[in-house]
Amino acid sequence: MTSEERDKDFVWHPFTPDQPWRDPAHRLPVIVRGEGPYLWDEEGKRYWDGNSAIWTNLHGHRHPRLVAAVRDQLERIDHVSFLGLTHPWGAELAERLSRIAAGESGPRYRTFFSDDGATAIEAAVKIVWQFFQQNGQPQRDLFLCLAESYHGDTVGAMSVAQSRFHRLFEPLRFPSVPIQAPACYRCPFNRAAAGRKDARQGRRCSWECVRVLEEALDRHGHRLAALWIEPKVQAAAGMWMHPEGYLRELDRLCRERGIFWIADEVFTGFGRLGSWLACEREGVFPDLLCLAKGLTGGMMPLAATLVREEIYAGFTGGKNRAFLHGHSYTANPIGCAAALASLAVFEEEEVFERIARHAELLSTLSQRFWRHPRVGDVRQEGLVLAVELVERQADRSSFPKEREVGFRVCERARAYGLLTRPIGDVLVLVPPFCVSADDLAGMVGALERALWEELP
Ligand SMILES: Cc1ncc(COP(=O)(O)O)c(C=O)c1O
């Protein structure tokens, strides 16, 4: 039995329909090796990892420094409980994360470790809930969240989001209040011409989305536990990108009213947008901050929920005030060692300079997509590129879902050596930071060629 046959008989994959797999003509790539920006299948075919192992990988696969750190750690320890015990790597990582989150002038943060993006979110939901329950504001029981926000697939994470992926699970979700997302391309107040390269050059609105936010804060303020946001880029929505200034306005409005806001930087954290954190780009400091994916450079599952020290103070002062939450693999030492090694790579290899150079190149290369008549929008933040396909540019209308246009373009791109995954009809490139200029040109070229072939 081949691995592919075994897989098709015994494995259940996330967000993966069964039906195409039953087609004998459908080939499932069996990946057996990774190095730098490349993956190899068992037949020896090489691919670019165009989605950085579902947005986790930063420095490429098997970066020697991370490999050495994990090997070294295995010589010392595998795993140990974090219930009332600690270890040097967890302690150091928490301090480093606090410094990254606070920058030069921000507050001190305390870290609660967990395993994945969704677990970082669950912890934040429960921290905020317990904080208000035991600190005299039990009426604060509502969360505010942006349209099409996504924070992971566990029940709490689904509840504080508004994702199309979760409609089926509506009865399981506790209620939260949705508000308009500041996503310019599909904004009802967008006055820019559609399908034009210059459509995104500056907002042509009067910050209606900020007014919507302000009204919601005023209407629900006394009951609000917190506001959630994926700052700057809502990844799973289809790489919806927020205009410069929105986050600052959000921070100001929440601070004026004493309302907590939570930054989900599971996707945007650790250089993806060209800075350590998306929040840094607008000089704001959230009350809580969720990190995962790139935290270990994509090597191990590890997540962190950072809270301002004032919030942590709400859990001190007695045994019955402890946070009632935990996971078996909290602060796994191998994960922590990988995370520390990843941070060291940032310091030693001028990673931010490389991201800036590549982001500029990607911006130049991606202009070619505008030539295609079915491209409605080309948007980019750092090393995140999104190309949104539409049936008609003029009214930004989408293709019928059944046509699976985005999926088919990406399937075709695989033949040209690019592995990536669309979000609906939004084509996405999220390359590892270690790519060369030639790799980037190759990835964009493969996607463009696949697009013209699929939609001539
Ligand atoms: C912004 C954001 N938050 C949370 C998650 C959930 O992370 P995980 O898949 O590690 O649970 C994701 C995953 O894509 C994400 O993009």
Nearest ligand 1 atom, CA 301: 10
CA 354 – ligand 1 centroid, Å: 25
Residue of the CA atom closest to atom 10 of ligand 1: 117
> Is the Cβ atom of 216 under 6 angstroms away from ligand 1?
no
Residue of the CA atom closest to atom 13 of ligand 1: 152
pLDDT band at 199; cut points 50, 70, 90: low
> Is the Cβ atom of 265 under 6 angstroms away from ligand 1?
no
Residue of the CA atom closest to atom 7 of ligand 1: 117
pLDDT higher at 91 or 19: 91
CA 253 – ligand 1 centroid, Å: 26
> Is the Cβ atom of 278 under 6 angstroms away from ligand 1?
no
pLDDT band at 17; cut points 50, 70, 90: confident
Core vs surface per residue 203-233: b (16+ CB within 10 A) or e: bebebebbebbbebbeebbeebbbbbbbbbb
Q: What are the C-alpha distances in Å from 182 to residues 77, 161, 230?
A: 46, 15, 11
Nearest to 73 by CA among 343, 339, 347: 339
| Calpha distance 66→345 (Å, rounded) | 9
- Give the Cβ contact number of residue 449 at 10 Å: 16
pLDDT at 436: 97
> Is the Cβ atom of 308 under 6 angstroms away from ligand 1?
no
pLDDT at 20: 66
Give the mean model confidence (pLDDT) for residues 177-188.
Answer: 93
Domain ranges of the chain: 3-59+350-454, 69-348
Low-confidence winner among 66-80, 84-98, 187-201, 239-253 (lowest mean pLDDT): 187-201
Nearest ligand 1 atom, CA 265: 1
Give the mean model confidence (pLDDT) for residues 106-110.
Answer: 97
Superfamily of domain 3-59+350-454: Aspartate Aminotransferase, domain 1 (3.90.1150.10)
pLDDT at 409: 98
| Strand 38-41 with 31-35, pairing | antiparallel
Low-confidence winner among 62-76, 175-189, 260-274 (lowest mean pLDDT): 175-189
> Is the Cβ atom of 266 under 6 angstroms away from ligand 1?
yes
Nearest ligand 1 atom, CA 118: 11
Q: What is the CATH number of domain 69-348?
A: 3.40.640.10
Residue of the CA atom closest to atom 4 of ligand 1: 151
> Is the Cβ atom of 160 under 6 angstroms away from ligand 1?
no
Mean pLDDT of the chain: 95
pLDDT in tens, 144-168: 999 999 999 999 999 999 999 999 9
The full DSSP string for 200-246 is GSS--S--HHHHHHHHHHHHHGGGEEEEEE--SEETTTTSEEPPTTH
Nearest ligand 1 atom, CA 56: 10
pLDDT in tens, 342-375: 999 999 999 999 999 999 999 999 999 999 999 9
Nearest ligand 1 atom, CA 152: 6
**Environment class of residue 306 by beta-carbon count within 10 Å: exposed (0-12), middle (13-18) or buried (19+)?**
buried
**Environment class of residue 388 by beta-carbon count within 10 Å: exposed (0-12), middle (13-18) or buried (19+)?**
buried
pLDDT band at 444; cut points 50, 70, 90: very high
Nearest ligand 1 atom, CA 268: 1
> Is the Cβ atom of 122 under 6 angstroms away from ligand 1?
no
**Environment class of residue 269 by beta-carbon count within 10 Å: exposed (0-12), middle (13-18) or buried (19+)?**
buried
pLDDT at residue 383 greater than cutoff 70: yes
pLDDT at 197: 60
pLDDT higher at 186 or 152: 152
CA 456 – ligand 1 centroid, Å: 34
pLDDT band at 195; cut points 50, 70, 90: low
Determine contact, residues 243/203, Cβ cutoff 8 Å. Answer: yes
Q: Name 201's Cβ contacts closer than 8 Å, sequence gap at least 6.
A: none
> Is the Cβ atom of 116 under 6 angstroms away from ligand 1?
yes
CA 334 – ligand 1 centroid, Å: 21
Give the mean model confidence (pLDDT) for residues 232-237.
Answer: 98
> Is the Cβ atom of 235 under 6 angstroms away from ligand 1?
yes
> Is the Cβ atom of 146 under 6 angstroms away from ligand 1?
no
> Is the Cβ atom of 264 under 6 angstroms away from ligand 1?
yes
> Is the Cβ atom of 439 under 6 angstroms away from ligand 1?
no
CA 236 – ligand 1 centroid, Å: 8
pLDDT at residue 400 greater than cutoff 60: yes
Nearest to 42 by CA among 67, 7, 66: 7
| Identity of the residue numbered 294 | G
pLDDT higher at 230 or 197: 230
| Calpha distance 235→261 (Å, rounded) | 19
Q: Give, for ligand 1, the residue of 51, 121, 145, 151 to mutate: max count of ligand atoms closer than 8 Å to Cβ.
A: 151
CA 152 – ligand 1 centroid, Å: 5
pLDDT in tens, 402-426: 999 999 999 999 999 999 999 999 9
Low-confidence winner among 3-7, 90-94, 267-271, 411-415 (lowest mean pLDDT): 3-7
pLDDT band at 198; cut points 50, 70, 90: low
Low-confidence winner among 116-130, 187-201, 360-374, 411-425 (lowest mean pLDDT): 187-201
Q: Which two tokens stand for residue 120?
A: 């970082």
> Is the Cβ atom of 152 under 6 angstroms away from ligand 1?
yes
DSSP percent split of the chain into helix, strand, coil, nearest 5? 45, 15, 40
